[in-house]
Amino acid sequence: MDDERWEPGMPVLDRQAVGPTSGPGSALDPGGHGRRSSTALPPSLQGMPQRSVPEVAPTPLQRHYINLSVIVLICGAIAITALELGASLGSPLVKLCVAVATPLLVLTTMDAILRIWRSAWAWMPVNRGRGAFRLAWVAVSLVGLAALVGGAVVVLLA
């Protein structure tokens, strides 16, 4: 066994050699043009259009994205439940939930927009249609973010 991590009693795994996976001149990008080499693909995918592009760097909040989103979800559920039970927009509970959730929602949404933006430009040399589609989602996300901030301002001023 040529794996220093292997110990007696462990199953033997047939591993493939690890080589460069991205970057100019690699198997995924042989000429630096965003195209995959047919040797890097299984036979079932050879000749097919590329289905994905590698993510080159994580977004700033990627490790914390889910945890922050859960806080926003809980605050939103509490605020919506309070409104459904008859609380007004000016209720301290609703305002507290909005005051806690809005900054976190803005941060997580901006992180998501950054990821979509990077994806759009990564797709441009490979498939302009997919890149343009992702740029449209950036625009939609910015409009949605503006609407969410506007709604939060209405609640906080109520």
- The chain-wide mean pLDDT, for the chain, equals 84
**Predicted confidence (pLDDT) per residue in 120-156, tens digit:** 999 998 889 999 999 999 999 999 999 999 999 999 9
CA distances (Å), origin 73, targets 64, 68, 86, 98, 113: 14, 9, 20, 11, 19
Q: Find the mean pLDDT for residues 96-109.
A: 97
Report residue 45's pLDDT band, with 50, 70 and 90 as the boundaries.
confident
In sequence order, the 6+-apart residues with CB closer than 8 A to the CB of 123 are 53, 130, 131, 134
Q: Give the span between the Cα atoms of 111 and 127, in whole angstroms.
A: 24
